Amino acid sequence: MNLDVYCVYAVGHSKLDQGGNHWCFYLDVDDNHSVRIDMTPSYAIPGSNIPGGSKGIMLITLLPYLYSRSSEKVVRLDVPAGVRVHNFVNLLVREKRHQYEFTEDGKGCRYWTDHQITLFQRSGLVVDPSQVTEARDSILTQYPDQVPYPLVLGSYYA
């Protein structure tokens, strides 16, 4: 958690069977490693706000690559010098962004990712407004088709 972060990649993975792409973050910690922050549905822990939904699990994983080969869209987000993995994780926990639930179909990761990009920018963890705009616009697109795909709303719980 004390690793330096050189940039963040917001990544859209392969198109899902039910449409859209799964999105998450990869924090670049050196030339060959990243820390993935991935909010994923549990499918087993019932949601408290969305009927039939399930609570999410925020997975934080050190990986031996910068981002997945199944990436369909990658947007780089620059960070200020001296930022570390724990700055991102602590912010997410402090703001209760780990308390999130998905729809019955397991959708909602793009909404969650979009919200965190805004949080990271507001907190000074990502610094280039044009990259933030590109990432947020990209989340509203389905890849590789490049067709508009509106956000499916998940929900935060207390």
End-to-end C-alpha distance for the chain, whole angstroms: 25
The residue segments making up the domain with residue 36 are 7-40+59-97+105-156
Q: Is residue 12 part of a domain?
A: yes
Q: What are phi and psi for residue 57, nearest 5 degrees? A: -125, 125
Q: What are phi and psi for residue 2, nearest 5 degrees? A: -95, 15
CA distance 63 to 32: 8
pLDDT given for residue 17 in this prediction: 87
Q: Is residue 47 part of a domain?
A: no
CA distance 2 to 24: 20
Q: Is residue 127 part of a domain?
A: yes
pTM of the predicted model as reported, rounded to 2 decimal places:
0.96
Q: Is residue 134 part of a domain?
A: yes
What is the residue-averaged pLDDT of the chain? 97
What long-range pairs does 127-135 form, CB within 8 A, spacing at least 24?
A: 127/78, 127/79, 127/80, 128/77, 128/78, 131/75, 131/76, 131/77, 131/78, 132/77, 134/75, 135/10, 135/75, 135/77
Q: Is residue 48 part of a domain?
A: no
As a whole-number percent, the residues of the chain with pLDDT over 90 amount to 96
Question: Can you point out the beta strands (E) in the chain?
Answer: 7-15, 21-30, 33-46, 54-63, 71-78, 100-102, 141-142, 147-148, 155-156
Those residues of the chain that have pLDDT short of 70 are: none
Coil, strand or helix at 146: coil
Q: How many domains does the chain have?
A: 1
Q: Is residue 52 part of a domain?
A: no
| pLDDT tens digits, 34-76 | 999 999 999 999 999 999 999 999 999 999 999 999 999 999 9
Q: Is residue 50 part of a domain?
A: no
Q: Is residue 28 part of a domain?
A: yes
pLDDT given for residue 1 in this prediction: 83
Q: Considering only CA atoms, which of 81, 152, 80, 143 is closest in space to residue 115? A: 152
